[in-house]
Amino acid sequence: MLADAVESAGVTGDVNRRRDDEGDFLELRLMGSRRLPFALTTEAAAAWLEAAGIDATVDYRDVYLVISLRDERTVDRLVERLLRPFMYAESVCERLGGALALHRLHPQVSFPDSGSLVLALRDSEALGAAVRLGALLGAGDIGEGLKLHRPGGMRKLAARMRLLLTGALGRGVRVLAEPGCAHEQDELSIHLTVEQGLRLAGRVEAESVRVEQEEPPFPVEESRIPPIWISSDP
C-alpha cells in the first residue's frame, strides 16, 4: 500500500521491506524533495515527523534520506499526512485532464502545493486553446474584438477568463497571460485551488463533445454559463 501511495502522490522515492533484530519494517527511501513539506535533511524530516505525530526514524543512507516505519498504524499516518493531499490532487488532475482531452484541450498541469493547481494553455495560434475553453464554458465570444496576437489583447482575454471562471468556480481564481517569443508559445495560465479544479472537471464533463471531434460524444444535458462582460475595446 505504501509503495502505491508514493507513486500516486508523485513523490520521488521507493519502498523496501527490511528485517532486523526487532522484526520486519518498511523503509521509505526519498530520492528528491519534490512534493515534500520538508528539506532532505535528517533534522528537517525528523522535526516534521514529530510535529505530524508519526513515530518513525530517519537517517541518511547511500545519499538518500530513509524513513523507517515499524508498524501498520505508523504507515497509515504517514500516508494520511504526507501523501494523501497530493494523491487527491493527482486524482483531480487526472479527471480534469481526461475531461478536457475529450474536447481536444491538453493543458500542462502543475501543483505549487497540495492545495492548488495551475493549468497552462499554450499555443502559437493567438491563444486559440484558451478561446476554445471559454467557448466550452458557454462564452463563445470571449475573444471577440481582441487582438490576441498582441500583449494587450492577451491581458484582456485573461481578465475575461478570470471573470468567467470566478462566476463558475468561486472567488480566488487568477488568470495570467504571458506572450511568447521565437522559442516559446503564448501562454494563458489559470490558477485554481484543487477543489476549484474538481468543480471545473464537473463542468467540462457536463458539456457534450461535438460530433466532429474524434472522441466518442457524451450526450448530456448542457448547462451554460452566460457571458459576464458587456464589451471590451481591443
pLDDT attached to residue 220: 36
Q: Domain tally for the chain? A: 2
In a domain, 192, yes or no: yes
Share of the chain above pLDDT 90, in %: 74
Same structural domain, 142 and 171: yes
Same structural domain, 135 and 190: yes
List the CATH number of the domain containing 7.
Answer: 3.10.28
Domain membership of residue 162 as a residue range = 102-205
pLDDT attached to residue 94: 94
Same structural domain, 111 and 72: no
pLDDT attached to residue 226: 44
In a domain, 211, yes or no: no
pLDDT attached to residue 227: 46
Confidence of residue 216 (pLDDT cuts 50, 70, 90): very low
Share of the chain above pLDDT 70, in %: 89
Same structural domain, 16 and 55: yes
Residue-wise pLDDT for 158-188, tens only, equals: 999 999 999 999 999 999 999 888 788 889 9
Same structural domain, 117 and 199: yes
Same structural domain, 130 and 200: yes
Same structural domain, 114 and 189: yes
- Mean of pLDDT values over 140-155: 93
In a domain, 14, yes or no: yes
Same structural domain, 18 and 68: yes
The pTM for the full model equals 0.80
Same structural domain, 111 and 184: yes
In a domain, 219, yes or no: no
pLDDT attached to residue 213: 52
Residue-wise pLDDT for 14-48, tens only, equals: 999 999 988 999 999 999 888 899 999 999 999 99
DSSP collapsed to 3 states, the chain: CHHHHHHHHCCCEEEEEEEECCEEEEEEEECCCCCCCCCCCHHHHHHHHHHCCCCCEEEEECCEEEEEECCHHHHHHHHHHHHHHHHHHHHHHHHHHHHHHCCCCCCEEEEEECCEEEEEEEECCCCHHHHHHHHHCCCCCCCCCCCCCCHHHHHHHHHHHHHHHHHHHCCCCEEEEECCCCCCCEEEEEEEEHHHHHHHHHHHHCCCCCCCCCCCCCCCCCCCCCCCCCCCCC
Domain boundary among 37, 56, 84: 84
In a domain, 222, yes or no: no
Same structural domain, 59 and 128: no
